Amino acid sequence: MKMKKLLTVLGIALGVSPLVYAEDGATLFKAKCAACHQTSRPNEISTLVAPPVMGVMRHVKMTYTAKEDAVKFISTYVLNPQKSKAVCMPQKIKRFGLMPSQKGNVTQKELESIASWMFDNFPQKGFMGKGHGKSCSVK
């Protein structure tokens, strides 16, 4: 009897969690990252304070094609941004400055949801960079 109940609970947990997980990532991103990284395509590039998320993810995916690796990279970078670790934007760092560490603002666990959501949703279909990516050196 106990086992059956446990299985039911597990089933519910497993069935529901992917949804919650995805939503969490979007909500967390809005709360903790969107102030700097906009999620819609910018009309006016000159007012940006950081690269929009589709550009970021385009570059992240060029270096880290597996989701697991990309999520790991993002979680690490956000807590400890380093020029040498940045994937593909020497000119972006020059323009925006290095991203300030978000340590204390976001936890490792939250970052995993955020990064997973970013990977699944960006760049959105049909997105083409504005040509800034070409001069990047992909490691």
* Residues near 57 by beta carbon (within 8 Å), at least 6 away in sequence: 118, 119, 122, 123
* Minimal distance, residue 116 CB to ligand HEC, in Å: 11
Binding residue (CB under 6 A) for ligand HEC from 61, 92, 116, 122: 92
Nearest residue to ligand HEC on Cβ basis: 33
Q: Does 81 bind ligand HEC (CB under 6 A)?
A: yes
Q: Does 11 bind ligand HEC (CB under 6 A)?
A: no
Under DSSP, is residue 42 helix (H, G, I), strand (E, B) or coil? Answer: coil
Under DSSP, is residue 103 helix (H, G, I), strand (E, B) or coil? Answer: strand
Say how many Å lie between the first and final Cα of the chain, rounded. 56
Binding residue (CB under 6 A) for ligand HEC from 24, 38, 50, 117: 50
Q: Does 98 bind ligand HEC (CB under 6 A)?
A: yes
Strand partners, 103: 106
Binding residue (CB under 6 A) for ligand HEC from 24, 25, 61, 102: 102
DSSP-assigned states of every residue in 56-94: HHHHHHHH--SHHHHHHHHHHHHHS--TTT-SS-HHHHH
* Contacting residues toward ligand HEC, per CB under 6 A: 32-33, 35-37, 50-51, 56, 60, 74, 77-78, 81, 86-87, 89, 92-93, 96-100, 102, 106, 114
